[in-house]
Structure 1
Amino acid sequence: MRTALITTVAGRTAHLRRQTADVGRLPRRPDRQVVVAMGEGEAERARPACATSADLLEVPVERGELPLAAARNAGAARAIAGGAELLVFLDVDCLPGPGLLARYAAAADDGALLCGPVAYLPPAPPGGYPRDLTGLAAPHPARPVPPADVVLPGGDHRLFWTLSFAVTAATWTHLGGFDPGYVGYGGEDTDFGQRARAAGVDLRWVGGAWAFHQHHPTATPPVQHLDAILRNAARFHARWGWWPMEGWLQAFAADGLARFDPVDGTWCATAKSGPSRDARSIPGA
């Protein structure tokens, strides 16, 4: 099965460089690497951090927000056009464990959406992370971690994430990729998981397909993405009838940055958050 590894990037050149190095040391390497740079000039900046054989393309930024959904779609289209039969998506912040590609390939099946466990690394020590990352971080506590040789079917599609996942080209085509109407951070992953559920595509957790998330500073809740989260949450609500990212929405409300209007049934930014667009359910989204 011809495998493509797909990564989207905007900045984070150092993280991409380390990912590229670790991919090059995998016992099983991808037949094709596709790197999708988001924003004008990002491909040129990313090129030195990519493998010389990597297929590098660039997609424009819209509304000042990263087009994560559209970028993943562009990467998948390029990979499939090049003959890929299995698409493995790995976030630029993630380093592949030694068994990541082999385990995804062994578990690949039309009609399945595959996710591997991810551990969040602490800040890198002087000189960077060691090659062997085992034991440096615990797995994410909210998601299953099957034994290394086990594939756990019947997963909760609400737990699907884009840090590390794989899908056959046939299943990707059946699902139609991500909804590019989600622009900026948040929601497009939960929507994709729900569309997989609605299409009868099983979510399976793949033991041994480890990825390790490189540390970077972040805000909790991610206030820098407030507008995008409100807008994308509204798009999701219009389609599925419930609110995603509810923990973040409630945290924004607790900080006085957003409020829920029970009359209109909408979340919107408050004056405290500065100028922002109301997140109203979008008919036909």
Structure 2
Amino acid sequence: MQISPPNHLAPFIRHYIFLENSGENIMSLRLFTDGSCGLILSGDMKLYSGTAKERMPLSFFYGMVSSYKDFFSKEKFSLIAVVFQPYFLHILSGISAKALSNKTIPVEDILTNKLEIFQEKLFNKTAPLSIINGLNTFFTQFLSGGVGTDHHLISAAQQYLLLNKGSVSSKDLQHFTGYSERQLERKFEYNMGMSPKKYANIIRMHYFLSLINNRVDDKNMTMLSYQAGYSDQSHLIRDFKNTTGLTPKQYLNKENKMAVNFIEL
């Protein structure tokens, strides 16, 4: 179940996802980058890293992901994923987004005990919509304290890149913002965890994902790769596999997609 935030939170939160495993079967999950960071909130989950088999915190923030991460759980659980706009974790934590990239951080390390009430509600099987409404109130109150001075610049640059589906030159972005290439790179890395070029490449990849999710016949794959701005199909497939760990066909064959970048293996 994917739920949008209220309009006033949309500049900071992309969406909420409620996920439940009611059986005893192992559930294997893959999260790959969509240019977002976020929060995984649970009251009873036993989640492990798919590679190191390391026990994850009960609830945690995750920074910008450069590629993909696998997780698995073999017991019943319910969780809410809060998918942030790429700069929101920096606003919440006050920590450089670059320092948080590819890291998971227990919620108490950033917000002490402020999210415990939501973990308890998940543990007690409170209706997910009620919990999400409470989270909307929490984030609204947090943002009432204001945001950093770079927020409006970074948000405007992000929207410019999204509007142009990632096909923006460094000179175009410099002209749009009035900042030099080096200044923009520093601001993006501090607020979002990656350079403008890397973020533009992720936007282009997800534009291609939106195209293939609507038109999946093989004869269109090459045409759609060009439409998304790739010079050739082999370049696309290489980037796609580096990002998702799958080929486009393998991705399309995955039936359970909790979100475009959060899939059951």
The interval holding the TM-score normalised by the smaller chain is under 0.3
TM-score normalized with structure 2 length: 0.23
Higher relative contact order (CA 8 A, sep 6+): 2
